[in-house]
A and B are shown apart, each in its own frame.
Chain A
Amino acid sequence: MANFVLANSGHNRDDEASKFGMWLFLFTELLLFGGLFLVYTIYRYLNSEAFLHASYELDVIMGTINTVVLLTSSLTVALSITAIQKGNVKLSLWLITATILFALTFLVIKYFEWSAKFEHGLFPGMDHYNHLEPAEKMFFFLYFFMTGLHGLHVVIGGALLGYIMWDIKKKEVTPQNYVFLENGGLYWHLVDIIWIFLFPLFYLIH
């Protein structure tokens, strides 16, 4: 009895299943934003003139910079996975740090954008907003709700990557077992993909 050992004991790990679970979660995220894109599509179809007019309030340059920032952060997190696969833990940590810094840059730019809208009284409930026609109200409501929900995802994604860095330091995520970093990366890329659609739909109506 003393020598009885279960087959595979201590090795019960299935990276493919872990990633599969993460993908299933990402599909639900896509449908969460999908519902909002559906609302956007219908209201834009019904009020294309008002949406066009309202979109001129948004800053294309800031939106473009934020798009580049997020794409670059997606690159650094993808590179961090290559680095840990090749056993270069130090480089991997630096690349995750860069990703988190890009996440903060994105949020700072978003803060300035939102501040400008607040100054113009365009947040739902404010003076200027209350005097807009209903369809333009819908545009700004969707703008704040969708970029706000996306911003929340940026915060969560950044925090998740910070937690993974902590796990790498504790050697719980290693070049032999890095599926947690892969899943964190998957979440981060999803945040990027959602912004890829938000950007042209709100900033580039013209």
Chain B
Amino acid sequence: MANKNTSRHLPGDPEVHHIIPYKFHIGIWVGLIILTVMTVLVSVMGISLVAFSVITALIIASAKAVVVANYFMHLKYENKLITWLMGVTMLLFVVFIAFTAFDYITR
């Protein structure tokens, strides 16, 4: 069966996979550990900077989550539709937080 439309994946076609090298994964892990050490240090040392440390902690946590999703979970190499839907999920979550926060702040 000649497959004229190469952009479309049909059932029965050979599965194409992106293989991430071992060393690359280990490099990603080292990066994640460094970020973890950073977030602990910011928290333990930045006692006088309460608000700053919350924001820093959340930025570092989000960076770690993005790295895990992109490389460990192969999101970067999957169909872009999954990334878009991830964005929609995050947007929903931001809407939940923002609307509830508006309610509490304006009472």
Residues in A115-134 with C-beta less than 8 Å from chain B? none
A8 at the interface (CB under 8 A from B): yes
The interface residues of chain B lying within 8 Å CB-to-CB of A163 are none
Digitize A3-28: 1 where CB-to-B-CB distance is under 8 Å, 0 elsewhere: 00001100111111001100110010
Q: Are B93 and A34 in contact (CB under 8 A)?
A: yes
Q: Are A45 and B101 in contact (CB under 8 A)?
A: yes
User: Separation in Å of the A5 CB from the closest CB of chain B?
Assistant: 12
The interface residues of chain B lying within 8 Å CB-to-CB of A197 are 61, 65
A105 at the interface (CB under 8 A from B): no
Residues in A1-60 with C-beta less than 8 Å from chain B? 7-8, 11-16, 19-20, 23-24, 27, 30-31, 34-35, 37-38, 41-42, 45-46, 48, 52, 60
User: Separation in Å of the A76 CB from the closest CB of chain B?
Assistant: 9
Q: Chain B: interface residue count, which band?
A: 35 or more
Most buried by B among A42, A64, A204: A204
A170 at the interface (CB under 8 A from B): no
Q: Are B36 and A52 in contact (CB under 8 A)?
A: no
B19 at the interface (CB under 8 A from A): yes
Q: Which of B26, B28, B44, B85 contacts A206 (CB 8 A)?
A: B44
The interface residues of chain A lying within 8 Å CB-to-CB of B73 are 185-186, 189
User: Separation in Å of the A187 CB from the closest CB of chain B?
Assistant: 10
The answer for the CA separation of A60 and B74 in the assembled complex, in Å, is 31
The answer for the CA separation of A119 and B33 in the assembled complex, in Å, is 32
User: Separation in Å of the A159 CB from the closest CB of chain B?
Assistant: 20
Q: Are B40 and A79 in contact (CB under 8 A)?
A: no
